[in-house]
């Protein structure tokens, strides 16, 4: 640590790596659960870094580090205790909680509308149905649709226009 | 080793700058006391030092109260420097308690005498207000000086450290008030002193701890994982 205080990065990195197992053992002894020891390790490493000027090279490094780990472990235990008192871990309750913003009837209405359009479409003459299918539902260009059906563009346009009029009439009547 | 620890260690090593180890707390306390002594010397040029000396030596409770406030100033400053180090016990904060007891106890005795001796000069309301403003006004620069001296440390208990800063500064200001305090302590006067000290300690605890925390924040920038 004395070398780290003079700016020796290699010595510092080696020291920090060597500290990790010591920090873990002290944190476990303090009663920190194993899934939270990594948090303590990181807090301690940051504290060591920020507080490195406070280390007195004439004193024991292990004692200095040990006290910091104990303090950080206690902070972590307090945090766990606070969170445990305020929050409940219940993934099933979370999953099965009803979303009040959802309109349950909207899905049924949408399905009914789709069925009605489907039925109205099925009643149209074949040429008109083809025009709606290619140009509207498949979103093909007029040229592609003409090539597929072997009909002229003008014929397709006329059939689409008639089909849409017929569908509009049917939907307005509520068939 | 866990990948995130590995990443953090590399980032910290990359951020490493040489630092000068802090001098021992006793030495740093001495620096601050020298600053207070310099302020005292400056104030003494305006004060009636002979009169003050006469008042202080006339009755034992006066010099005992002065001794108590001086000792509180020194012990609280030393405690502030001790608890600002992450590995030191927080029990250091108990160090000023005996001296505070001496200070308050001796001042209380002076206040009792005011009842026994009818011709003792009792402070008027205007004078007590001046005492309050003097203690608070002088505590501010002394607290700021202490906090500046503490900025290089890393307290794991900033509110406790800041409260010690407030106590040391308030005790110093109350000690220096003796230069301009041509009357004995009455119950109201003592209460005003106590209120001033409590205000300074509370304000230092609230504002000082934030200043100490700010001085620690943002010293390291950790790049996001996977950037190196």
Q: Is A41 on the interface with B (CB under 8 A)?
A: yes
Q: Is residue B210 part of a domain?
A: yes
**What residues in B contact A11, CB-CB < 8 Å?**
none
Check residue B73 and give its pLDDT. Answer: 93
Q: Supply the pLDDT for residue B36.
A: 92
In chain A, the domains with their CATH numbers are: 2-88 (1.10.1740.10), 104-173 (1.10.10.10)
> What angle, rounded to 10 degrees, do the helices at B125-150 and B187-203 form?
30
Q: Looking at CA atoms only, how far is residue A40 from chain B in angstroms?
A: 11
Is the residue at B228 inside a domain?
no
| Three-class DSSP category at A150 | coil
- Note whether A45 contacts B12, CB cutoff 8 Å: yes
For chain B, say whether A54 makes contact (Cβ under 8 Å).
yes
Contact residues on chain A for B154, CB-CB shorter than 8 A: 47, 50-51, 53-54
- Which residues of chain A are within 8 Å of residue B92 when distances are taken between CB atoms? none
**Contact with chain B for residue A173, Cβ under 8 A:** no
Whether B82 is covered by a domain: the verdict is: yes
pLDDT recorded at residue B221: 54
Task: Establish if B225 belongs to a structural domain.
Answer: no
- B20–A53 CB contact, under 8 Å: yes
Q: Which residues of B touch A (CB under 8 A)?
A: 1-2, 4-5, 8-10, 12-22, 24, 84-88, 152-154, 156, 216, 219-220
Cβ within 8 Å, pair B219-A45: no
State the Cα–Cα distance between residues B164 and B146, nearest whole angstrom: 10
Sign of CA dihedral B196, B201, B206, B208: positive
Residue of B nearest to A7 (CA): B18
SS3 for chain B is CCHHHHHHHHHHHHHCCCCCCCCCHHHHHHHHHHHHHHHHHHHHCCCCHHHHHHHHHHCHHHHHHHHHHHHHHHHHHHHHHHHCCCCCCHHHHHCCHHHHHHHHHHHHHHHHHHHHCCCCCCCCHHHHHHHHHHHHHHHHHHHHHHHHHHCCCCCCCHHHHHHHHHHHHHHHHHHHHHHHCCCCCCHHHHHHHHHHHHHHHHHHHHHHHHHHHHHHCCCCCCCCCCCC
pLDDT for position B76: 94
Could you give the CA distance from residue B95 to residue B98 in angstroms, rounded to a whole number?
7
CB contact under 8 A, B153 and A54: yes
Distances (CA, A) of A156 to A119, A138, A163, B87: 21, 14, 10, 86
- Per-residue model confidence as pLDDT tens digits over A74-117: 988 998 888 888 887 777 888 888 777 777 788 888 888 888 88
pLDDT score at B27: 93
Residue B70: its pLDDT value, please?
A: 92
Q: Are A160 and A131 in contact (CB under 8 A)?
A: yes
Nearest-neighbour CA in chain B from A3: distance (Å): 9
Q: Domain count of chain B?
A: 1
Dihedral Cα A100, A106, A107, A112, nearest 10 deg:
160
Q: For residue B176, what are the domain limits? A: 3-216
Looking at residue B116, its pLDDT comes to: 60
Please tell me the predicted confidence (pLDDT) of residue B208: 75
Q: What is the pLDDT of residues A7-56, one digit of tens each?
A: 788 888 888 888 888 999 988 898 888 888 888 898 899 888 888 888 88
- A3 close to B (CB below 8 A): no
Predicted confidence band of residue A175 (pLDDT cuts 50, 70, 90)? low
pLDDT in tens, chain B (228 residues): 556 788 888 888 888 888 888 888 999 999 999 999 999 888 888 777 777 777 767 666 778 888 898 999 999 999 999 998 888 888 999 999 999 998 888 877 766 666 665 555 555 556 677 778 888 888 889 988 988 888 888 888 888 888 899 999 989 988 888 777 665 556 666 777 788 888 888 888 888 777 777 555 445 555 554 443
Closest-CA distance, B161 to chain A, in angstroms, reads 15
State the pTM of this model. Answer: 0.68
């Amino acid at each position: 640590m004395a070398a780290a205080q003079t700016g020796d990065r290699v010595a510092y990195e080696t020291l920090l790596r060597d500290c990790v197992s010591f920090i873990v053992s002290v944190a476990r002894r303090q009663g920190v659960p194993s899934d939270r020891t990594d948090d303590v390790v990181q807090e301690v490493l940051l504290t060591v870094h920020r507080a490195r000027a406070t280390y007195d090279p004439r004193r024991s490094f292990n004692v200095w580090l040990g006290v910091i780990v104990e303090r950080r472990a206690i902070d972590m235990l307090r945090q766990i205790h606070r969170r445990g008192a305020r929050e409940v871990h219940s993934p099933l309750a979370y999953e099965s909680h009803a979303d009040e913003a959802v309109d349950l009837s909207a899905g049924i209405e949408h399905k009914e509308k789709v069925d009605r359009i489907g039925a109205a479409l099925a009643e149209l003459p074949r040429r008109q149905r083809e025009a709606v299918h290619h140009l509207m539902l498949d979103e093909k260009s007029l040229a592609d649709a003409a090539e597929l059906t072997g009909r002229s563009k003008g014929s397709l346009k006329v059939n689409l226009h008639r089909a849409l009029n017929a569908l509009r009439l049917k939907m307005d009547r509520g068939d | 080793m866990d990948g995130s620890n590995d990443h953090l260690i590399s980032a910290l090593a990359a951020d490493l700058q040489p630092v000068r180890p802090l001098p021992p707390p006793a030495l740093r306390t001495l620096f601050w006391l020298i600053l207070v002594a310099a302020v005292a010397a400056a104030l003494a040029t305006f004060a009636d030092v002979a009169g003050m000396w006469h008042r202080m030596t006339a009755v034992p409770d006066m010099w005992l109260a002065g001794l108590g406030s001086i000792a509180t100033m020194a012990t609280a400053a030393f405690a502030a420097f001790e608890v600002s180090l992450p590995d030191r016990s927080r029990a250091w904060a108990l160090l000023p308690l005996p001296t505070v007891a001496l200070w308050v106890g001796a001042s209380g005795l002076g206040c009792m005498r005011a009842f026994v001796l009818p011709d003792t000069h009792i402070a008027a309301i205007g004078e007590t207000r001046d005492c309050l403003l003097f203690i608070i006004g002088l505590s501010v620069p002394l607290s700021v000086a202490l906090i500046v001296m503490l900025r290089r440390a890393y307290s794991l208990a900033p509110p406790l450290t800041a409260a010690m800063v407030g106590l040391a500064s308030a005790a110093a200001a109350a000690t220096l008030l003796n230069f301009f305090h041509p009357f004995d302590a009455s119950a109201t006067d003592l209460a005003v002193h106590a209120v001033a000290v409590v205000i300074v300690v509370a304000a230092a605890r609230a504002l000082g701890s934030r200043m100490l925390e700010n001085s620690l924040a943002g010293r390291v920038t950790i790049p996001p994982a996977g950037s190196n």
